[in-house]
Amino acid sequence: MTKKISFPHLGYYYIVLEYFFSKATKCEVIVPPNTTKRTIALGAKYSPDFVCVPFKYNLGNYIEALEKGANVLIQAGGGCRYGYYAELEEKILKDLGYDFEFYNLISDNHVSLIKGYKFCKKMNRKINPFKCFYYFINAFLMVIFLDKIERYIRLNMGFEVHKGEFEKLEQEYFDSFKNNGIIKNICLYKEYKKKFKNIEINKDINHLKVMLVGELYSLIDTNSSCHIERKLIKMGIEVHRDTDLTYLMITKRFKLRRMIKRGKKYIKYHLGADASGSVVKSLESSKNGFDGILHLKSFGCTPEISAMSILSKISQKYGIPILYFSFDAEDNEVCVDTRLEAFYDMIKRKGRK
């Protein structure tokens, strides 16, 4: 039986995961179809009632991938409940009658590199550890480059002179990221960075700035949050968001303790998952002249609920508007749009004063 690997979606990172697993294990990789209404409907149908939304999306992705013919599934998410998804997902899918192998790359709530290597070894017995390491480093760099470009896009896309240029170039950039070596990736990154910088933008001095904070899945996977980020950008707002894989995998480790220290007026201990980050970033952005904060989370996210009660205090003290969104399986996009527009009008009027 040939092995076909699949994994749940997480924003645009499927590019990196596809590259890494196809190179390291030499197996076929099936990227699950793009997340649609059907995905979430499938996921919600078989999930427990009040589990958080990422579970439902992941389950939907798995089912669609299995329908496409995948037979090896991977789960690798950590933090809060996310680390415990794997076992229940496996059980639910087995009960549905699918035939597959399930690999859980998490140990004690964190993604474990050793388990990842063992998984690759099981898929490809002839694996060369050095080559595997090389692919890993390359995948790592890809994540960093993708995030850096995305960060630039978020800050500047709202002010482009000719509409659609950024999106076109972004798609081109994503497409170029396939089967390259490290050196070519670095060259490509530099080349595209120049190209992005050359796009004509018209930035006002008094442009609106908005900070996006909240839970990682809603922030990174824009499908689950009704593409709020792009909607804000299209309104002509500079969108700041720190939460991406680079932050979660690397910088959070070094920053967390200092962050808690900076926010010691509001938090003394780490609140769990990204909640401390949400609090401290909102605190800093309200001091640094942002016009508003958007707090996104999936329904029932425990750490972010703790953060929300603290955020409202910050909002009161600094007079910064915070808009809370909570996403569940059945979301009405029109409702989200209306709230966003009202928020936009409000911060615009406030900014003019």
Q: Quick one: which H or E segment has residue 4?
A: strand 4-6
Pick the binder of other proteins from 2, 95, 194, 334 (CB under 8 A): 95
Nearer to other proteins among residue 24 and residue 293 (C-beta): 293
CB of 37 to other proteins, least distance (A): 23
CB of 218 to other proteins, least distance (A): 14
* Stretch (H or E) spanning 345: helix 333-352
Question: Pick from 9, 23, 81, 231: which binds other proteins (CB under 8 A)?
Answer: 81
For 159, the 3-state DSSP assignment is helix
- Taking each helix axis as running N to C, give the angle between helix 129-156 and helix 182-198, from 0 to 180 degrees, rounded to the nearest 10: 0
The residue type found at 308 is M
By CB under 8 A, is residue 10 in contact with other proteins?
A: no
Q: How far is the CB of 187 from other proteins (least distance, A)?
A: 41
CB closer to other proteins, 24 vs 271:
271
Decide whether 170 or 328 has the Cβ nearer to other proteins.
328
Tell me which residues in 304-343 interact with other proteins (CB under 8 A).
Answer: 305-310, 313, 326
Region 114-173 residues binding other proteins, contact defined as CB under 8 A: none
Residue among 58, 71, 104, 243 that touches other proteins (CB under 8 A): 104
Render 205-225 in DSSP notation, one character per residue: TT-EEEEEEE-HHHHH-GGGG
| Cα separation values, 329 from 57, 71, 267, 325, Å | 9, 26, 31, 13
Question: How many Cα atoms occupy the beta-carbon half-sphere of 274 within 13 Å?
Answer: 28
Residue 220 CB partners (closer than 8 Å, separation 6+): 10, 11, 13, 243, 244, 245
User: Two tokens at 239?
Assistant: 């969108």
Binds other proteins (CB under 8 A): choice among 3, 22, 101, 109: 109
Round to whole Å and give the CA distance between 342 and 353: 17
Partner residues linked to 324 by β-bridges = 295
Give the residue, chosen from 22, 27, 28, 88, that forms a contact with other proteins under the rule CB under 8 A.
88
What part of residues 219-258 is at the interface with other proteins (CB under 8 A)?
A: none
**Cβ neighbours of residue 5 under 8 Å, at least 6 residues apart?**
21, 25, 27, 28, 29, 30, 70, 72, 73, 74, 123
- Binding segment (CB under 8 A) for other proteins, from list 46-54, 127-135, 177-185, 336-344: 46-54
Residue closer to other proteins by CB (options 118, 197) is: 118
- Measured from the CB atom, is 185 or 278 closer to other proteins? 278
Question: Applying CB under 8 A, does 30 fall inside the site for other proteins?
Answer: no
**Residues at the interface with other proteins (CB under 8 A):** 48-52, 55, 80-81, 83-88, 91-92, 95, 104, 106-109, 266-273, 275, 299-300, 302-303, 305-310, 313, 326
